[in-house]
Amino acid sequence: MPNTAHYRDEAAKRLDPMVRDYYAGGAEDEETLRHNVTDWEAIGLIPRTFRDLSEIDLTTRLLGQRVTAPILTAPCSFNRLAHPDGELGVARAASEAGLIQVLSTASSTSLEEVAQSVPDGTRWFQLYCYRDRELTLSLVRRAEEAGYSALCLTVDVPVPGNRERDIHNGFHLPDDVRWANLDHVMGPEAAGSALSAYIKERWERDLSWATIGWLQAKTSLPLVIKGVMSAADAREAEQHGIGGIVVSNHGGRQLDGSISTCRALPAIGDAVGGGPMAVLVDGGIRRGSHVLKALALGADAVMIGRPYLWGLASDGQSGVTAVLSDFITELERAMALAGCRSIRECHQLEWMAQ
């Protein structure tokens, strides 16, 4: 059975080098990008034995929603750069697998079209906060009307990270790919080399808890904050009634030298794990065994990003389906080998740094 490395290698053959680097790259020397992967490999699990493992239950609940496994597709921008199926293919694959899709504001398909394509699917909408609050609010209202069940607010981009691969390649969107949710206000200049300048000009840099409170007051949707890396911020989020957090360093694309999400997770899990706020994690998760490690370290679920993009680039919607299936199969196997019959028992699994 192929694993994510197979899809990564296949995607590298098929993608334009500019797009390949856009998906694969991180900031500056890419230290955080590398550690996001290798630090999961440095966690050792301590299996339990003498248990009836005739049934393994991967199901869990996130923000009150039942999912078949604790895996979500992370909000990755411009999926149609990988394959014409784009976000629609991801939506269909995630829905068929019983998983949650988190759609990016920077989707290359509009949030309405994605929702209409799979009306029975469960999806969250990833949001950036704009200096123009009415623009922010318009996206919230569109997500509400389209049936999205949560908002996932990214908070770790006060300015764009120094992504040197993109600078070297002169990253730009081709004519047939657009920022579908915002092209009516952005204009063609935001699709090319001026994208970074556009972000600096329009995205909110004074993102405070007052801003979060304003957003909470404007919507009845639960709010998930993506980009939390410290236990102190996690505790504050819990105190402000946030529905969930995502332990994330933006895939190593923002502050190079930031610790990996794997290293950040245990302290956050100790601080707020097991409480009313969901704890998710992304970054460098490449195997079902990594998902199991994340659960043991304190996460309720994981988000995967690059792996499903590799599947998409390799074989469109079918490739995404294959990647998600592989993750679920590997997680079920890893749980059995570790002596875990349920997600609750995964949280109780002992581990140590190797």
For residues 133-157, give the mean pLDDT: 96
Q: What are the structure tokens assigned to 235, written together?
A: 């505790």
Fold (topology level) of 4-353: TIM Barrel (3.20.20)
Q: Is the pTM of this model over 0.85?
A: yes
pLDDT of 30 > 60? The answer is yes
Query: Do 216 and 143 contact (CB within 8 A), yes or no?
Result: no
The answer to whether residues 90 and 312 touch, using CB atoms and an 8 Å cutoff, is: yes
pLDDT for 207 beyond 90: no
Catalytic residue numbers read: 250
pLDDT bin (cut points 50, 70, 90) of residue 163 is very high
Pairwise CA distance, residues 67 & 38, whole Å: 28
Across the range 118-140, mean pLDDT stands at: 93
- Residue linked to tokens 């496994």: 69
Average pLDDT over residues 128-156: 95
Task: Return d(Cα 322, Cα 2) in angstroms, integer.
Answer: 9
What confidence tier does 132 reach under pLDDT thresholds 50, 70, 90?
confident
Check if the beta carbon of residue 9 is closer than 8 Å to that of residue 313. no
- Mean per-residue pLDDT of the chain: 94
- pLDDT-based confidence at residue 11 (cuts at 50, 70, 90): very high
Question: Average pLDDT in the 181-208 region?
Answer: 66
Per-residue pLDDT, 352:
96
Q: Are strands 65-67 and 60-62 parallel, antiparallel or unpaired?
A: antiparallel
230-282 confidence digits (pLDDT tens): 999 999 999 999 999 999 999 999 999 999 999 999 999 999 999 999 999 99
Taking Cα atoms as reference points, which of 181, 195, 178 lies closest to residue 146? 181
Answer yes or no: are the C-beta atoms of 82 and 23 closer than 8 Å: yes
Average of per-residue pLDDT across 80-90? 97
Residue 191 pLDDT greater than 90, yes or no: no
